[in-house]
């Protein structure tokens, strides 16, 4: 049965905690053995056999501690890693259920940070902090009990010093809650700004604004510096005050123990030991305070993980989505990325089944948004989108995308072989089918010229290939998937003449396959043979019709055509 609690601990983790507690108790036993040795020496009862016996006892305690520590540390690491694995699997399963629009609204970085950095931070709690705290707390209680067994009043003083952790941690935890989350958010923003700066360093240098001219990075790092300072200012004084109060247990213990020692009720060795124990005890309490404050700070990561796990999931209608035809209809569709700033207004058109529909218009007019809505990357605020007469609202994005092949302007490739990158479109495809798709996409020739052919790794996001080569691989994927709907988003933009001609030829091969095609084009010569041309202007479908019909209207399309042919 699947564990419903992704944060649930396992037996290895609890075994590790028990080992750490046992090691803490055994660490306290060292003081008892040293106490016995000191008494033997002071009272003149030490001989070779006794010294060897006590040495053997210390060695035995050390050996047992070493075994327990090894077991506890190993099991803690394995147990913590198992919880991390469960968390990452839960997050991975959750990400599959989160609506796609969440991944196109600046959330991707947060999801990646949660699945990596936040899970690592939570794992650190399990594998390090929890065990150290269990060990140090058990050792502290052992020292308090040992001191109390010698002079009860001295034990009470050390117990009170230990209990001072409660108010100190209450104040510290409030500061962490208030400033820790803010620090994490600012840290994420600073990292994002630095990554953006590193990515665009060539552009910055080209315009002579590298380094000091990057106000965004400078401001982000300044904000990180400020919040780090505030964070330390709010917490360090609490630790300092706790340290002062705990260190006061040293003179108090010495004074308390001096009374029975002066009266002859306490031997000198016991008195000396009681003078030394608070020194070790005070340092131990400081470590516990730091670890618990760090523990609280790391639990912020747990909150971030829970936030993702509790996000609303995509509402899915039961059953498959298998429209009999694949015309695409927009009916009075409104959409805005930002409230009150509409991108589409009452958009209405039909891309007919197995026909070629082209979209043209100014940059920012809403063309790419239409493709994103068809793909369910976003949901419209008003109106309906239909596919084969069926509304796609409420249908899982994956079910809709099963009917769609896409060729984007920005091609994404995995750091894998060329063959595998194409086969992602249809994992069960044979090698012959992959090669045939590449031939149709006009890329088989350049692939075979590579040293390892189809087994050549393309690098991170295909950085070992040119833009035209990546674009043709994207077309090969679309051909291999063989979906009834094809969406093309300015596939020939930003290419040199040679690559543009190769990509255009590949697109022609793709269009011959009788699909419902919706294509964005930046040159009208590509779309003049389309069955329907949509002219998008300021979020509206300003004109629609064939090339000849639009020219006769002498409207926006005709003006665009004349401007292009006059060059």
Query: DSSP readout, 119-182?
Result: HHHHHHIIIIIHHHHHHHHHHHHHHHHHHHHH-HHHHHHHHHHHHTHHHHHHHHHHHIIIIIHH
185 vs 287, residue with greater confidence: 287
- Please indicate whether residue 271 or residue 101 has the higher confidence score (pLDDT): 271
Which of the listed residues 309, 334, 351 is the one where a domain comes to its end? 309
More confident residue, 172 or 192: 172
Q: What is the pLDDT, as a whole number, of residue 37? A: 80
Report the pLDDT value the prediction gives residue 419, as an integer from 0 to 100: 92
Top-confidence residue, 373 or 564: 373
CA 301 to chain CA mean position, Å:
11
Cβ-contact 359, 520 below 8 angstroms:
yes
- Over the stretch 11-63, which tens digit does the pLDDT of each residue have? 888 999 999 999 888 888 888 888 888 877 777 776 778 888 888 888 898 89
Q: Give residue 196's pLDDT band: very low, low, confident or very high (50, 70, 90).
A: low
All residues at 6 or more sequence positions from 151 whose CB lies less than 8 Å from its CB, including other chains: 256, 257, 260, 266, 270, 274
Whole-number pLDDT of residue 219? 79
Tokens of 545: 């019709």
Angle separating helix axes 152-163 and 249-262, nearest 10 degrees: 170
Both tokens assigned to 414: 């995995």
Establish if 368 belongs to a structural domain: yes
pTM of the entire structure? 0.65
Cα 35 to Cα 271: distance, rounded to the nearest angstrom? 11
**Domain containing 18 — which CATH number?**
1.20.1560.10
Residue-wise pLDDT tens digits, 222-234: 887 888 788 788 8
In three-state form (DSSP H/G/I as H, E/B as E, the rest C), the secondary structure along 243-292 is HHHHHCHHHHHHHHHHHHHHCCCCCHHHHHHHHHHHHHHHHHHHHHHHHH
- CA-closest candidate to residue 425, choices 547, 336, 510, 330: 510
Owning domain of residue 339: 317-402+516-567
What integer pLDDT is reported at residue 92 of this predicted model? 85
Kindly state whether residues 321 and 298 are assigned to the same domain.
no
Point out the domain boundary residue: 256, 279, 309: 309
Looking at every residue in the chain, the average pLDDT score rounds to 84
Task: Please give the sequence-ordered ranges of beta strands (E in DSSP) within 22-93, or none if there are none.
Answer: none
Q: Could you give the CA distance from residue 76 to residue 72 in angstroms, rounded to a whole number?
A: 6
* pLDDT band for position 1 (cuts 50, 70, 90): very low
Statement: residue 503 has pLDDT above 70: no
Lowest mean pLDDT across 208-222, 294-308, 313-327: 208-222
Predicted confidence band at 4 (pLDDT cuts at 50, 70, 90)?
low
Is the pLDDT score of 476 beyond 60? yes
Q: Name which of 246-255, 275-284, 308-317, 460-469 the model is least confident about.
A: 308-317
Confidence class for position 220, pLDDT limits 50, 70, 90: confident
CATH of the domain at 382: 3.40.50.300
Please state, in angstroms and as integers, the Cα–Cα distance from residue 364 to each residue in 101, 175, 343, 410, 494, following that order: 19, 46, 8, 16, 17
Domain membership flag for residue 194: yes
Numbers of helices and strands, H then E, in the chain? 21, 10
How far lies 397's CA from each of 98, 329, 358, 517, in Å?
10, 17, 23, 19
How many Å separate Cα 389 from the centre of its chain?
Answer: 39
pLDDT score, position 164:
92
Kindly state whether residues 292 and 335 are assigned to the same domain. Answer: no
For residue 263, report the phi and psi dihedrals to the nearest 5 degrees: -85, 0
Residue range 454-479: mean pLDDT, rounded? 86
Task: Tell me the CA distances in angstroms from 271 to 33, 157, 267, one per residue in order.
Answer: 16, 15, 6
Whether residue 210 sits in one domain with residue 72:
yes
Under the banding of pLDDT at 50, 70 and 90, the label for residue 188 is: low
User: Could you tell me if residue 294 is inside a domain?
Assistant: yes
Indicate the helix (H) or strand (E) that contains 390. Answer: strand 390-391
Question: Does 441 fall in a domain?
Answer: no
Of 162-166, 275-279, 333-337, the one with minimum mean pLDDT is 275-279
Does residue 65 share a domain with residue 198?
yes
- Based on the fold, state whether residues 384 and 279 are members of the same structural domain: no
Domain annotation covers residue 443: no
Boundary-marking domain end, from 309, 339, 359? 309
Q: Please name the residues in contact with 366: beta carbons below 8 A apart, sequence gap of 6 or more.
A: 343, 344, 347, 536, 538, 539, 540
Number of domains in the chain: 2
Residues 75 and 182 in one domain: yes
296 in the same domain as 326:
no
- Distance (Å, whole) CA 253 – CA 267: 15
Phi, psi at 486, each rounded to 5°: -125, 125
- pLDDT value of position 485: 92
Q: What count of other Cβ atoms lies within 10 Å of the Cβ of residue 98?
A: 16
Q: What is the mean pLDDT of residues 189-201?
A: 68
Q: 51 is written with which tokens? A: 């010294």
pLDDT band at 454 (very low <50, low <70, confident <90, very high): very high
Is 359 or 491 the better-scoring residue by pLDDT? 359
What would the pLDDT profile of 55-85 be if each residue is shown by its tens digit? Answer: 888 889 889 989 998 998 899 889 888 888 8
Strand order in the sheet with 382-387: 344-351, 328-335, 382-387, 390-391
Q: Are 290 and 393 contained in the same domain?
A: no
Pair 148, 123 in one domain: yes
Q: Are 304 and 339 found together in one domain?
A: no
Mean pLDDT for the stretch of residues 182-195:
71
pLDDT for position 318:
57
DSSP 457: B
186/225 same-domain check: yes
């Amino acid at each position: 049965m699947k564990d419903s609690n992704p944060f649930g601990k396992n037996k290895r983790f609890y075994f590790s905690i028990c080992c750490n507690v046992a090691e803490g108790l055994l660490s306290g036993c060292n003081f008892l053995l040293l106490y016995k040795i000191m008494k033997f020496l002071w009272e003149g009862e030490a001989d070779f056999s006794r010294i060897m016996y006590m040495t053997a006892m210390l060695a035995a305690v050390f050996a047992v501690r070493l075994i327990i520590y090894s077991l506890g540390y190993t099991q803690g690491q394995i147990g913590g890693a198992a919880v991390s694995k469960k968390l990452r699997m839960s997050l991975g399963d959750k990400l599959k259920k989160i609506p796609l629009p969440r991944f196109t609204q600046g959330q991707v970085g947060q999801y990646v940070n949660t699945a990596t950095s936040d899970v690592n931070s939570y794992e650190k709690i399990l594998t390090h902090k929890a065990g150290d705290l269990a060990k140090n707390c058990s050792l502290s209680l052992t020292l308090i009990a040992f001191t109390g067994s010698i002079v009860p009043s001295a034990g009470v003083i050390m117990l009170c010093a230990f209990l001072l952790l409660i108010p100190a941690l209450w104040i510290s935890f409030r500061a962490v809650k208030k400033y820790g989350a803010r620090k994490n958010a600012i840290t994420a923003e600073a990292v994002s700004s630095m990554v953006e700066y590193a990515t665009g360093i060539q552009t910055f240098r080209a315009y002579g604004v590298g380094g000091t001219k990057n106000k965004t990075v400078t401001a982000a790092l300044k904000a990180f510096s400020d919040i780090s300072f505030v964070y330390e200012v709010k917490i360090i004084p609490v630790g300092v005050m706790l340290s002062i109060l705990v260190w006061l247990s040293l003179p108090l213990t010495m004074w308390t123990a001096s009374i029975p020692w002066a009266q002859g009720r306490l031997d000198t060795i016991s008195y000396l030991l009681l003078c030394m124990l608070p020194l070790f005890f005070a340092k131990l309490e400081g470590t516990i305070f730091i670890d618990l404050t760090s523990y609280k700070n790391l639990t912020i990561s747990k909150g971030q993980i829970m936030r993702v796990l509790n996000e609303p999931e995509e509402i899915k209608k039961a059953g498959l989505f298998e429209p009999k035809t694949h015309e695409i209809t927009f009916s009075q569709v409104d959409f805005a990325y930002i409230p009150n700033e509409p991108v589409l207004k009452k958009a209405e058109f039909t891309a007919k089944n197995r026909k070629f529909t082209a979209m043209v218009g100014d940059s920012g007019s809403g063309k790419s948004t239409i493709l994103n809505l068809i793909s369910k990357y976003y949901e419209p605020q008003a109106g309906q989108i239909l596919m084969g007469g069926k509304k796609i609202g409420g249908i899982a994005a994956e079910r809709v995308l099963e009917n769609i092949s896409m060729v984007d302007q920005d091609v994404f490739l995995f750091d894998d072989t060329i063959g595998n990158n194409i086969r992602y479109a249809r994992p069960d495809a044979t090698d012959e089918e992959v090669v045939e798709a590449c031939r149709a996409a006009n890329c088989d020739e350049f692939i075979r010229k590579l040293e390892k052919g189809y087994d050549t790794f393309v690098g991170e996001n295909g950085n070992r290939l040119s833009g035209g080569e990546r674009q043709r691989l994207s077309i090969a994927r679309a051909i291999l998937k063989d979906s009834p709907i094809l969406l093309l988003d300015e596939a020939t933009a930003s290419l040199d003449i040679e690559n543009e001609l190769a990509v255009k030829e590949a697109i022609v091969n793709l269009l011959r396959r009788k699909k419902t095609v919706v294509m964005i084009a930046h040159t009208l010569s590509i779309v003049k043979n389309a069955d329907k041309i949509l002219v998008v202007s300021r979020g509206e479908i300003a004109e629609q019709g064939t090339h000849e019909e639009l020219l006769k209207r002498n409207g926006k399309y005709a003006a665009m055509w004349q401007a292009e042919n006059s060059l």
